[in-house]
Structure 1
Amino acid sequence: MAARRRRRRLKKRARRQVQGWGAVAAVVAAVWVAEHWSLVWPVLVAVLAAAVVGGVGWALLRAHRQALGQDRAWRAQEEAQARELSMAEVDALSWQEFERYVADLCRRDGCTKIVVSGKSGDLGADVVGYLADGRKLVVQVKKYAPHRSVGSQDMQKFVGTARLEHGADVALFVTTCRSFTRDALGLALRQDIVALHRDLLGSWVKGAHLETLIPLNGSGSGTRRRPSA
């Protein structure tokens, strides 16, 4: 107990000493400032002005960033609405008409020898042709309601036939619904399938080139290049 009381006394004494020296330092600083006020006040004014300018600059920068963010959000919303408007006519197509429409988009972007199956039992090859650089393109087309998702079963069927049955260099899965399930998209990425959901299809319909869409969702770029016949 005596040792503990001794430690407490020493701590109190140390605190008093620190406080005393702090007070002395404050007095010395105040005296020095008073004696050299003509030198100190310009520095204080400069520091204050810099703080004000910095604060105003930071506020302006933050407002600028917020304005840019709002502008990007507005543009994204406008683009999404434009895609939906362009998709309205697509939604009105039958599944056979949709296959022919996808084939027309491929032709528009320079694909050659485009063939449309137009029937069931095509082993996942609804549209077949060649890209401008000679790679063979095989397209699976699924016209689903926008709220649906493409499941892993649909993707598994396409994965199993696109290259083994049809020798695809680029395997493209196109759908009118908004998304692929996580399992379906994971399978597409692992198997090098281009998964083109509604938003990307809307961009394609609006004029985006197929070659720019291929890397966006599943690479699907293939490794072989075949000369065009």
Structure 2
Amino acid sequence: MAARRWHRRLKKRTRRRLQGLAAVVAAAAVVWAVRNWSVVWPVLVSVLAAAVLGGAGWKLLRAHRNAVGEDRAWRAQEEARARELSMAEVDALSWQEFEAYVADLCRRDGCTKVEVSGKSGDLGADVVGYLADGRKLVVQCKKYAPHRSVSSQDMQKFVGTARPEHGADVALFVTTCRTFTKAALGLAVRQDIVALHRDLLGAWVKGAHLETLIPLNGHGGGARRRPAV
């Protein structure tokens, strides 16, 4: 107990001495600053100015970054809205009109000998044609509501016919719905089927070239040939 009391007293004395020393140092600094004000005040002003400018610069930088981020978000929203405006017109098409519209997109991008089956029993070949480099293109068109998903069964049927039945070099599954199920997309990638969901279709509608869309989901494949005549 006595040892503890002695230790507490020692700590108090040490604390008082340190506080006294700090007060003496502060007083000495004030006296020195007053006597040497002509030297101190330019330094003090410079430090304060640097602090103010630094703070203002940081605020401006943060404001710029926020503005850039907001601008990018706004542009992305506008692009998405523009796609939806175009897709609203696509949504109004019948399934037969949708197949004809996809065929027109293929022709727009340089495909030749483009034909539309326009009937059931086409074994998944709704649109057939040839890319500019000669590869045979076979397209399955699914006119689904935006909230639906392309199922694995849909994809399996197309996989089973696109190449075995129609000799496709590029097999394109294009739909107006937003997603493919995980199983359907996995099958598309494994079997080299180009899976074009609503957003990619929207980009195609807005002017993206088919050749730039082919590598996005399944790389298309197929050896390049001489253009079909």
1:115 and 1:21, CA in 2 relative to 1: closer, same or farther beyond 3 A?
A: farther
Report the 3-state secondary structure (helix = DSSP H, G, I; strand = E; otherwise coil) of the residue aligned with 2:158.
Answer: helix
Give runs of aligned pairs for residues 6-21 of structure 1, distance below 5 A. Answer: 19=19
User: Do structure 1's residue 84 and structure 2's residue 81 form an aligned pair?
Assistant: no
Report whether the alignment pairs 1:224 with 2:223: yes
SS of the counterpart of 1:172? strand
Partner residue, 2:68: 68
Q: How far, CA to CA, are the matches of 1:8 and 1:221 in structure 2?
A: 82
Report deviation, 1:182: 3.1
Cα 1:115–1:44, aligned 2, differ >3 Å: closer, same or farther? same
Deviation at 1:53, TM superposition (A): 1.9
Does the C-alpha gap of structure 1 residues 39 and 204 become closer, same or farther in structure 2, counting only changes over 3 Å? same
Partner of 1:159: 159
* Percent identical: 81
Are residues 1:57 and 2:60 paired?
Answer: no
Structure 1's unaligned 5+ residue stretches are: none
Q: 1:7 to 1:99 in 2, by over 3 A?
A: farther
Asked whether the 8 Å contact 1:110–1:132 carries over to 2, the reply is: yes
Residue identity matched to 1:111: C
Q: 1:117 to 1:47 in 2, by over 3 A?
A: same
**Segment of structure 1 superposing worse, 164-173 or 195-204:** 164-173
What is the RMSD of the two structures over their aligned residues, measured on CA atoms? 2.9
Structure 2: distance between partners of 1:160 and 1:184: 13
1:174 is displaced (CA, Å) by 0.6
Query: Which runs of 5 or more residues in structure 2 are unaligned?
Result: none
Residue matched to 2:112: 112
Q: C-alpha separation between the residues in 2 aligned to 1:223 and 1:18? A: 84
For residue 151 of structure 1, what is the amino acid of its counterpart? S
Q: CA deviation at 1:68?
A: 3.0
**After superposition, what is the alpha-carbon deviation per residue over 1:151-207, rounded to whole angstroms, capped at 9, x for unaligned?**
222223323433344343322211111222233334334443322122221222222
Mean CA deviation greater in 2-11 or 155-164: 2-11
CA shift, 1:222, in A, is 1.7
For residues 1-229 of structure 1, the aligned pairs below 5 Å read: 19=19, 22-23=22-23, 25-216=25-216, 218-222=217-221, 224-229=223-228
Structure 1 104/31 Cα, relative in aligned 2: closer, same or farther at 3 Å? same
After superposition, the Cα gap between the structure-2 partners of 1:28 and 1:79, relative to the gap in structure 1 and judged at 3 Å, is same
> Aligned equivalents of 1:18 and 1:160: distance in 2?
87
Q: Give the deviation of 1:148 after TM superposition.
A: 1.3
Deviation at 1:220, TM superposition (A): 2.2
Contact 1:149/1:178, CA 8 A, preserved across alignment: yes
| SS in structure 2 at match of 1:47 | helix
- Report if the CA contact (8 A) 1:172-1:220 is conserved: no
Shift of 1:106: 0.3
Partners of 1:165 and 1:25 lie apart in 2 by: 94
The structural deviation recorded for 1:7 is 6.9
SS class of match (1:194): strand
Deviates more, 1:8-17 or 1:27-36: 8-17
Count of paired positions: 228
What SS class does the counterpart of residue 120 from structure 2 fall into?
A: coil
Residues 86, 12 of structure 1: alpha-carbon distance in 2 compared, 3 angstrom cutoff: same
CA distance in 1, matches of 2:63, 2:100: 49
TM-score when normalising by structure 2: 0.80
